[in-house]
Each structure stands twice: as structure tokens, then as C-alpha cells.
Chains A and B, each alone.
Chain A
Amino acid sequence: METILTQLNPGKVKWRGIANILRKYRAQKYLFIMLLPVLAYFAIFHYGPIYGVLIAFQDYRILDGISGSPWVGLANFWDLFSGATFLQVLRNSLIINFYKLVFGFPAPILLALLINEVNRSWFKKTVQTISYMPHFLSWIILSGLIIEILSPSRGPVNLILSWFGVKPIYFITEPGWFRSILVSSEIWRNVGFSTIIYLAAIAGINPEMYEAAEVDGINRIRKIWYITLPSMIPVIVILLILATGSIINDDFEQVYNLLNAKVQDVGNVISTYTYTEGLTRMNYSYAAAVGLFKNVVSLVMVLSANMLAKKLTEETII
């Protein structure tokens, strides 16, 4: 019936279709009254900037706006790749994030295995609570703590080094040390909180496996190696894939608060570069191009990581 009508008078059916849909929306008006502010929020504050990214293809002038500014095609992107700074910044980001992944990824797995071995629950809870602590503090506070601890004039780290006859090192301004500080402070902040997912995975292991192992008289280290760790592999693989997918996303709040003039060459990353180019030098279009390049790379990588993870398990990430 429907198809015959469509052939005879497509226009009329189309209008009837729209009226039908409108009727459906009206029937659910209360649901949409609730949903509307949320959709408006996403339209303005998320799709607004996505539209605004057009300035990456313009020579944006704030008084003329997007409609009045001249279009320059890919000129900003040519500038990006012909200048030396961006390539150096990209390299810094990738190196720092690669080290964070290599050292930071296994750290919570090891900590979770250690915590799991503890059989006194008060000790376990205390260790967990203390290890979560840095996760709840802002990078401004954490930078304050880090600078204090690494202080050349009274920091404990330099004190310990002095016992071995090492002269005080001003770590924060030392290009050779800066990336290590970023990597280790990142681990320090997140290692505890990241154990949560692994401890949950361990809690899901069938206790019968351990009981069987106990009957066979297998020691604790072997139990970890042959039961606990293999049972965690699915979770580990998925989290590793997801972490690899976001290797281009750096932690602006961390790097920006620790960055100083002496370590620019090794510590300036994409996000801090975007900020200084865009908001302190007012090169809006150029900085938007830097940001767009990063976001596109990130989108491709995160989507492929999600697809891969989805393929490996039937569980969806979102």
C-alpha cells in the first residue's frame, strides 16, 4: 500500500511522513523538553568549536569573524610542517608519551599484584587509600610538591644523592632530567588509582583455581605467574590498546606547570605549543591548525584502537 502511494504521489506521502514524525515527537514532548537543554549544550559547546575549527583554513581576524576572514586553504598546515618548531614539539610529545606508556603502563599491574597478596585487610585498605591520594590533587599542587622534593637547596632527593657524593642537581631546569620527571611524576600520580581496574579483574578470578593450586602445594610466586597474571591478560590487552590509541594526547596541566625556559627544547609538547601560539601570541589560525592536526590523528588512532579492542573481545568500550 505504502509503495503504491509513493509511486502515485511522492510529494504528498513525504509530507504525511513528516507529519507522522512530528506527531510522534509531540506524543513524547515531555521527554524532549528534558532532552532539549542537553542537546542545545552539545550543539553550542561541542559542535560550536567543531564549526569554529574552520579558522584553521583561514587567516582569522577576530574583528571579522569566521564569515569575514579570508580563506587561505592549507597554508597554515604548510607552515606547520615547514617550520622547525612544530616537528620538534611533535617529537617531544611522542617521546614523552611513549616513555609514559612503557613505564607507566606496567606499574599499576605490578602494584595490583602486590596489593592482592596482602592478607590483612586493614593494611590493604591503608595502602590503597594512600596510593590513591595524588590522583585527587591538582597538577598545580602536585607541581608544588615535586619542585619542593627536587629542590637543590633542601629537597630530600638531593640529600640522598649527597650521601653518595653527588653534587646538588637542579632537576627541574635540567634538560637531561626533565622528561624523566614528567614520566615518574605521572606514574606517581596515577599508579594507585589505576590499580582499581586490575584489582577488580583479580577479584573476578575463580577461587577454585587457587584452591586446586594449594592442594598441589604451589607457592605464591607461581600462583601469581600461572593463575593471577594469565587471568588478567584480557583486561591488560584492552587497556594497552586503548592507551596506545591516545599516545598523541599529552597532559597539558602536568607539562605546563613544570615547564620552564631552560627545558623548552625537550619539554614543549603539542598542547603547550598550541596554548602559547594561540593564546599568548594570538596566532589563532596557526594554533587552530596545530590543534586540528592533533585531533584528527587522535581520532583515527582512538577509533582504530577501539575497533581492535572490540574485535578482540565482544565487549564494547562505550
Chain B
Amino acid sequence: MRIKQSAGDTVFMVLVYVLLTLLCFLFLVPIMQVVTVSVSPAEIINRYGFHLIPTKFDFNGYVLVMHNSQIWLAYKNTIVRTVLGTSITVLLTFMGAYPLSKKYLVHRKFWTGFIVLTMFFSGGLIPSYLLVKNLGLMNTVWALVLPSAVSAYMLLVVRSFIAGLPESLEESAQIDGANEIFVLFLIIIPLSLPIIATVGLYSAIFHWNAWFDSMIYIQDGKKQVLQILLRNILLVGSDPSWETSTGGLKMNVNSESLKMATLVVSMAPILAVYPFLQKYFLKGALIGSIKG
């Protein structure tokens, strides 16, 4: 039985659709503006107002970005830290979560508490900085991947996931004489692909977007990550290396279109992949907020 909508409901529904469409614009306008400015010639950029759809094209900003070796170096550094950091995170999270999921583990409560305690109290910025400095990790990629290697919270999420797996599979492997390390890698991990995707993607997006650690731990410009380079170009001011990198070639490029081109180049990978991977992020957000 279908109940006919009342007139009031129809008005309400129209309102809902209009409001949500306007909201979507609110999210999209900044992106559209930046993309448009990045491909427009100076005369359009400097005109006041909305630039949502490009009318005239000028790709000089991108040409300059493409020829800048520093950007590619920074891109490479970001990819390296993301791949290395994500691999270490996934591996260590499982190596911690699997033993702690075993109810018979000796002193399980104590070891779990040892890890959980760090969720509530931390030494803070200065002691962490001095630690990394004293360990001699300054100016190495390890300063970017080790301090944030395991999140206690994600470890608990994975632990309860593993605890929910059927035990019979593990038992049969143990009868065959395989020790727990083999069980983890040959049985548990292949069964945990969805949760690996969640942990891995959270870690990957963290590393892709991270910049503060790189700002304080990395002084060598050649080891700097993409976000820092972007920050230098966008917020701090123009980068002196721009002129040298074009080999003295004088191009009539509005520095704004150059800034915007760098901005687009650094956010494009994320905008291209997140719509397809969002279900894994949703899962992380949900497990987190209800219970672990």
C-alpha cells in the first residue's frame, strides 16, 4: 500500500533537495575555483569573483610545475614515506593484535594495558622531538615512519576483528605443527583483508597528508615531502628555486596560477581515489565510534 504524499511533505522534500544541492556547491566551489584559476591566463585570474568554469586556457602554471625537479623529488619522498610507513604500520599492528587476541596469553591484561595507557597520556611535542633527535633519526625517513608506526586504537580494532574469526581454522593448522607466526601470516592475515584495507588506508592517507613531522625532523630540502613544498609555495611565499629551475627562461606566468597548479597537483591523487575507497574509511569511522 502506497500512501500519497501530502502537499506539506512535497514542499519539505523539495526543500531538502535544494538545501543539499546548495551544500554540495559549498563543498565544490573552493575546488572548482582553484582548478579554474590554475588553468587560466593572468587577465582572467585578476578579474574579481567566481571562477568556476575555465573560459580561456593557459597551462603555463603546469608547465612550470612539470619542469620543477623539486616537486618530483618531493612527490617521490611522499610516496616513499607512504609505502614504507603503511607497510610497517600494517605489519606491526597485526603482530601486536594477534597475540593480544589470545585469551590465554600470559599477563594479557597487563600487556594490553601497557598499550592502551598511551591512548590517554603522552609526553607531548617537546619530549617526542628530543627523543627523535637523541635517537639520531633526524633527517631520515625513519623519523617520519617510526614515531607514528602503531596506533593503539587501530590495534584494538584489529584485535577484536581477529578475536571474531572462527578458531577451528587455526586449530587445524596448529595440529599440523605450524607455530603461531605461521598461523598469523598464512591463516589470519589472508582472512583479514577488509580490515587490512581499513588500517592500511587510514595509515596511507595519514602519511600522504602529514607535514608537521617533516617540518621539524627534516632539514635537508632534498628529503622534504610534497606537503611541505606546497606549504612553502602557498603560505610562506615564493620559493627561490623556481627561477633557477626554469633555466632563466622568462615566462609570463602569474605566480597565482603557479601556486594553484601546485595545489591541484598535490590534491589530485586523493580526489581521484577517495570516492572508490570510501567504504573502508566508513568502516574505520564506525568501528571506532561504537565500540572496539
Contacts and interface: CB of A to CB of B under 8 A. Distances in A.
Interface in A119-152: 119, 123, 126-127, 129-134, 136-138, 140-141, 143-149
Contacts of B16: 114, 117-118
B147 A131 contact: no
B285 A28 contact: no
B180 A34 contact: yes
Contacts of A271: 125
Contact of A38 (B95, B124, B260): B95
B149 to A, nearest CB: 6
A154 B3 contact: no
A206 interface: no
A136 B270 contact: yes
Interface stretch (B18-26, B54-62, B68-76, B238-246): B18-26
B95 A37 contact: yes
A288 B285 contact: no
B186 interface: no
A137 B34 CA distance: 14
Contacts of A144: 34, 230, 234-235, 259, 263
A118 B20 contact: yes
A131 B124 contact: no
B286 interface: yes
B29 A55 contact: no
Contacts of B231: 140, 257
B187 to A, nearest CB: 14
Contacts of A42: 114-115, 118, 150, 152
B123 A53 contact: yes
Interface residues of A, number: 96
Interface in A175-208: 188, 192-193, 196-197, 200
A33 to B, nearest CB: 7
Nearest to B128: A49
21 contacts: A31-B102, A38-B155, A39-B96, A41-B92, A49-B131, A52-B126, A127-B20, A129-B275, A132-B281, A136-B274, A159-B48, A162-B48, A196-B285, A196-B286, A197-B286, A239-B289, A257-B231, A299-B120, A303-B120, A315-B291, A318-B291
Contact of A140 (B116, B128, B234): B234
Contacts of B230: 140-141, 144
A225 interface: no
A153 B48 contact: yes
B126 to A, nearest CB: 4
B140 interface: no
A241 interface: no
Contacts of B51: 154
Nearest to B156: A318
A143 to B, nearest CB: 6
> For the side of the interface on B, what is the size category?
35 or more
Nearest to B216: A279
A221 interface: yes
A14 interface: no
Contacts of B96: 34-35, 38-39
A41 B24 CA distance: 43
Contacts of B179: 30
Nearest to A191: B23
Given A145-B34, A200-B286, A126 B125 contact: no
Contacts of B263: 141, 144-145
A17 to B, nearest CB: 13
Contacts of A33: 181
A57 interface: no
Contact of B50 (A156, A214, A253): A156
Nearest to B29: A156
A252 to B, nearest CB: 7
A302 interface: yes
Interface of B: 3, 6, 8-9, 12-13, 16-17, 19-20, 23-24, 26-31, 33-34, 37, 45-51, 92, 95-96, 98-100, 102, 104-106, 111, 114-116, 118-131, 134-135, 146-147, 149-150, 152-153, 155-156, 179-181, 184, 205, 208-212, 216, 227, 230-231, 234-235, 259-260, 263, 266-267, 270-271, 274-275, 278, 281-282, 285-286, 289-292
Interface stretch (A87-95, A97-105, A289-297): A289-297
Contact of A219 (B6, B122, B127, B274): B6
Contact of B17 (A47, A118, A256): A118
A39 B149 CA distance: 12
A24 B106 contact: yes
Contacts of A140: 211, 227, 230-231, 234-235
B24 A38 contact: no
A141 B292 CA distance: 32
Contact of B124 (A35, A53, A114, A118): A53
Q: Which of A126, A145, A253 has the most B CB atoms < 10 Å from its CB?
A: A145
A21 B106 contact: yes
Given A141-B230, A219-B6, 13 more contacts: A34-B98, A38-B115, A42-B114, A44-B135, A52-B131, A55-B130, A114-B16, A114-B19, A130-B24, A133-B274, A140-B230, A253-B212, A287-B126
